[in-house]
Structure 1
């Protein structure tokens, strides 16, 4: 039976998503449906799908709802290939914009919107013309992987970092190396992480710090989606990796330039450790309907 799905296309620094409301989790969402929605020629087009369901309606989110009753809505993010993902930093900002503009939530200048994800509850606030999300504590991985990429003429060491989802960050020598990468091919991580990882390639600015703010450029290959114009959690991981490499004098605020624009990353200190936050724009582009 054919289902017609009403959807909205949204983007944050060019990282684009197909969103739709499914409050009672009644849609039989299959990987094939996500692939059809995200298809750039026959669907809405995007790096992934963002169904908006109520946390209480999702049996798999029962523990989260009990732990964080403020998380009324759950961002059930899927990559463009239909696979589920733990978190999406640009996506959660677009998700917040979508909930607001559909009248599903209210968010004043000083309010907090708590959104459920597979990585746990995340707090979103207004931030200028966009939104800021606290991605929670970050963690440095234990492995010492090397990464090979097309047009990168030698394998490079990578730094594994988790910000709710897995990343491997690679430092490059300069803009020529970064611009010359062919990320239509999947970078090879050795040893390969269980479940895969996003791979970020980073070049520090020169000078690295201006007016107390660190600056880097980044390109990313996202597992399940390929190269995207931006990756929010990837930008956070890239800033954290550069800060780690730079040492104790490195700043806690960063500007990350991606092909789709720029996002801000900041580190703050909490009882459960260092948290990393991501800020940037989020826009809804158009609405449509698709027969699935």
Structure 2
């Protein structure tokens, strides 16, 4: 109100500016060093108690979750994990053999067709022979009835069960997941799947499992309804590779990586082409930026009035 009266009486803003100069306000200066010894001790005690309470809450949280019973998969040196590394297609071929003879009894791959194997792990003639081994339900025919026929390249991998209810009934209520994108759908990718397949062990003391449930420290909850699917010499590879447990798990994980990302090799090949093209473009872009555009960007326009 005082400032408003000055403006009304003077009729200009100069009195307001001059009046503001006469106002003085004291600044509150407070620092930890300026406090008394008692206040310093009180603040230090509050800080220690707060930090201790937070630490205790985190410790209790982790103890309730019992996270020490769940193991995180280690990082394995996969041959295709490099920036410019391609998949091992011989391993992909062996991995399909593992899936066909072991995994396909319970797990489906409904997003993968036989034609996807052509040029990746098998020749066209081999894939046709593989597809013809399956009887595919097709129809209806001219009489309106369903019929079975040998598989073709365009057919997708057949499902082991007709519907999810049948799958649960055959596996004690557990639903086997589809393996088409299982590597991308699980945290850890190939590392998790490999650790899960090879990580079955006896339950520790004090842990009781239900009938038909197995202990696996890498599985969330540690109780898994799938029995140990692989072991040494469970199959015989076509190329003579020793079928140890780790080799079988490694090959099927490589196959599942390809199934989840069929464009894996093409993506890395395209990235290499982009890097090579950028190596020729970047020097030209640097020349334009440093020697051409900088002149226009840093110029100064000055107006000189006539004398």
TM-score, length of structure 2 as denominator length: 0.20
- Compare CA radii of gyration and give the structure with the larger one: 2
More helix by share: 2
* TM-score for the superposition, normalised by structure 1: 0.21
Choose between structure 1 and 2 for higher RCO, CA contacts under 8 A separated by at least 6 residues: 1
More strand by share: 1
